Chain A
């Protein structure tokens, strides 16, 4: 399946990918409103730009072949879509037990800042190329089959 891959050698740590993700998952689809208002209501980017000294890399859910999060999910909120391979999250089902957050060895799952729910990358189902990948100014992110 196509996944988002990062090349830390050219990631410049600008975090535009985070802003793109935030906007894509906002109601308004408008960066300014999403950042100023919706973020205060708990909107979070699904990806995280990790930093270690001057090395940076934007990392998100790997959509693992055998996802640790699904093993751990007690509520059935996380499932693997057989066709697309995406690890799909259904917010309605989530009870906020943080089992998946604990199990995902990549730290790809975040807590919703307000609701007892998780937040996780969905690979932007409405787009052909995920928002973070399109936004990256240095092509540090690619969406490809590997």
Chain B
């Protein structure tokens, strides 16, 4: 205790224990996987080491007497708007240890959050609003390639569809659970997502860690991922699912061109006998629109765009915080580009990364998304407090960890129920918002940017979004 490396002195959090309430039951000690709390044999009481605390609030949540509050360390450096404490502390850390700073979850930096600059319309006078409790409201969404036109023929005196439809993923709500690999989160949560998706009639994405055979039974509600590492990819895996998903941000060492990508897409389609749609996931980067166009032309049925707020289990902090562009902009640009090129119908567009509430979902759809992936929100639903220390593998909430004693903190039954509740709650809100805009189906909102207005955006941003400023 007498001397510790400088970076531990400037720790982020302080454990404040109310001794008036604390009974020394040691529940906090047992809960904290960072070993902050400990039993002091000399003092015969529970003590703590602030330097180790990551601010996950697990102990606070479990302390039976409410004795703990986790606070920000109020210790302040001399004010300097250029050298913010964040930079100073990072330099200390690296000066002590060298190496790459690690971070997790999405980019937490104060870049503009465009969702918060976009506002929804509501019907007044000229068009009536719709009450979703009284009138049917359609949230059902089909993901996959839609034909350019439909042809009909007569069969036994009845008209029937002649055009052969591409495989589609049917979603009761335009929401899916993001790719979070088995490995970054544990089996309990995979079961929970699989069961929740099944109960809700939506899908979840396995992420790149492969699929446990116990989860094959949830196949109809599963998208399997084929990522750079090709972890656990084989025919059974691909065929277990309702959709497959190629590409994760890291480079695939067998893909250097759109042509290579086309080969992979068709290899997947062959392997699954054209039964399931193939989705290609890209990160929201500078020329996302052009890339998306290439992907659609290469035969992808779905394009998934992951913004820089999107969660990750472990990433170098500098990359997490400085690479990529906001997903909102990428989405608007992609949707517009595909429309301009007349190929918007050939693929569905899904956006992921940083969706926090049902209004974000509605705005994303108005900007042109067919559906959204929720990752962080799903984790928050099961307890995640965004402490952003997933990379340690010691998540005290039992989420981003495979340590058996921690992983069991997620009871799949409880987690499933929370996920179901969350999506149902959002769905009700989406219906309300749709009704408020006088719409009775999510289809009528898709790409309907007229329903959006922007506040505080400049001309260029307005142009990219294709949205009028508020008041216009």
Q: Does B404 contact A (CB under 8 A)?
A: yes
Bound complex: CA of A16 vs CA of B409, how far in Å? 14
Q: Which of A9, A10, A35, A36 has its CB near the most chain B CB atoms (within 10 A)?
A: A10
Contact B62 A14 (CB under 8 A): yes
Q: Does B25 contact A (CB under 8 A)?
A: yes
Give the chain A neighbours of B408 by CB distance below 8 A: 9-12, 138
Q: How close is B185's CB to chain A, nearest CB, in angstroms?
A: 16
Q: How close is A53's CB to chain B, nearest CB, in angstroms?
A: 8
Answer whether A15 and B30 are a contact pair too, CB < 8 Å, given A10-B411, A36-B23, A137-B62: yes
Q: Does A32 contact B (CB under 8 A)?
A: yes
Q: How close is B333's CB to chain A, nearest CB, in angstroms?
A: 44
7-44 of chain A: CB within 8 A of chain B: 9-16, 19, 31-32, 35-36
Bound complex: CA of A13 vs CA of B398, how far in Å? 13
Contact B65 A138 (CB under 8 A): no
Q: How close is A38's CB to chain B, nearest CB, in angstroms?
A: 11
Q: Does B21 contact A (CB under 8 A)?
A: yes
84-112 of chain A: CB within 8 A of chain B: none
Answer whether A35 and B23 are a contact pair too, CB < 8 Å, given A14-B62, A139-B414: yes
Q: Does B73 contact A (CB under 8 A)?
A: no
Q: How close is A43's CB to chain B, nearest CB, in angstroms?
A: 13
Contact B64 A19 (CB under 8 A): yes
Q: Does A4 contact B (CB under 8 A)?
A: no
Contact B30 A13 (CB under 8 A): yes
Give the chain B neighbours of A36 by CB distance below 8 A: 23
Bound complex: CA of A54 vs CA of B31, how far in Å? 13
Contact A14 B30 (CB under 8 A): yes
Bound complex: CA of A46 vs CA of B57, how far in Å? 30
Contact B404 A35 (CB under 8 A): no
Give the chain B neighbours of A13 by CB distance below 8 A: 30, 405
What 0/1 readout, one digit per residue, does chain B (61-96) give for beta carbons within 8 Å of chain A? 010110000000000000000000000000000000
Give the chain B neighbours of A78 by CB distance below 8 A: none
Contact B411 A14 (CB under 8 A): no
Contact A32 B23 (CB under 8 A): yes
Bound complex: CA of A5 vs CA of B210, how far in Å? 34
32-75 of chain B: CB within 8 A of chain A: 62, 64-65
Q: How many residues of B are counted as interface, with CB atoms below 8 angstroms from the partner's CB atoms?
A: 18
Answer whether A54 and B27 are a contact pair too, CB < 8 Å, given A32-B21, A139-B411, A139-B413: no
412-462 of chain B: CB within 8 A of chain A: 413-414
Q: Does A123 contact B (CB under 8 A)?
A: no
Q: Does A140 contact B (CB under 8 A)?
A: yes
What 0/1 readout, one digit per residue, does chain B (394-416) give for beta carbons within 8 Å of chain A? 00001000001100110101100
Contact A140 B411 (CB under 8 A): yes
Q: How close is B56's CB to chain A, nearest CB, in angstroms?
A: 15
1-48 of chain B: CB within 8 A of chain A: 21, 23, 25-27, 30-31
Q: How close is A80's CB to chain B, nearest CB, in angstroms?
A: 32
84-133 of chain B: CB within 8 A of chain A: none
Q: Which residue of A11, A12, A15, A32 contacts B65 across the interface (Cβ within 8 Å)? A: A32
Answer whether A15 and B25 are a contact pair too, CB < 8 Å, given A138-B411, A138-B414: yes
Contact B27 A16 (CB under 8 A): yes
Q: Which residue of A14, A19, A54, A139 contacts B404 across the interface (Cβ within 8 Å)? A: A54
Contact A35 B25 (CB under 8 A): yes
CB nearest to B62 among chain A residues: A14
Give the chain A neighbours of B31 by CB distance below 8 A: 14
Contact B25 A138 (CB under 8 A): no
Bound complex: CA of A62 vs CA of B168, how far in Å? 52
Q: Which residue of B23, B30, B404, B411 contacts A31 across the interface (Cβ within 8 Å)? A: B23
Q: Which residue of B23, B65, B398, B405 contacts A54 across the interface (Cβ within 8 Å)? A: B405
Bound complex: CA of A110 vs CA of B294, how far in Å? 72
Bound complex: CA of A69 vs CA of B219, how far in Å? 50
Contact B405 A19 (CB under 8 A): no
CB nearest to A53 among chain B residues: B405
Answer whether A14 and B27 are a contact pair too, CB < 8 Å, given A32-B65, A54-B405: yes
Q: How close is A59's CB to chain B, nearest CB, in angstroms?
A: 17
Give the chain B neighbours of A140 by CB distance below 8 A: 411
Contact A138 B409 (CB under 8 A): yes
What 0/1 readout, one digit per residue, does chain A (126-143) give for beta carbons within 8 Å of chain B? 000000000001111000
Answer whether A16 and B21 are a contact pair too, CB < 8 Å, given A9-B408, A54-B404, A139-B413: no
CB nearest to A33 among chain B residues: B23
B contacts, CB < 8 Å to A: 21, 23, 25-27, 30-31, 62, 64-65, 398, 404-405, 408-409, 411, 413-414
A-B contact pairs, 22 of them (CB 8 A): A10-B409, A10-B411, A11-B408, A12-B405, A12-B409, A13-B30, A14-B27, A14-B30, A15-B25, A15-B27, A16-B27, A16-B62, A19-B27, A19-B64, A31-B23, A32-B65, A137-B62, A138-B411, A138-B414, A139-B411, A139-B414, A140-B411
Q: A14-B62, A15-B27, A31-B64 are in contact. List 19 more A-B contacts (CB 8 A).
A: A9-B408, A10-B409, A10-B411, A13-B405, A14-B27, A14-B31, A15-B26, A16-B64, A19-B64, A31-B23, A31-B65, A32-B21, A32-B23, A35-B23, A36-B23, A54-B404, A138-B411, A138-B414, A140-B411
CB-CB nearest 5 A-B residue pairs: A54-B405, A10-B411, A35-B23, A138-B411, A12-B409
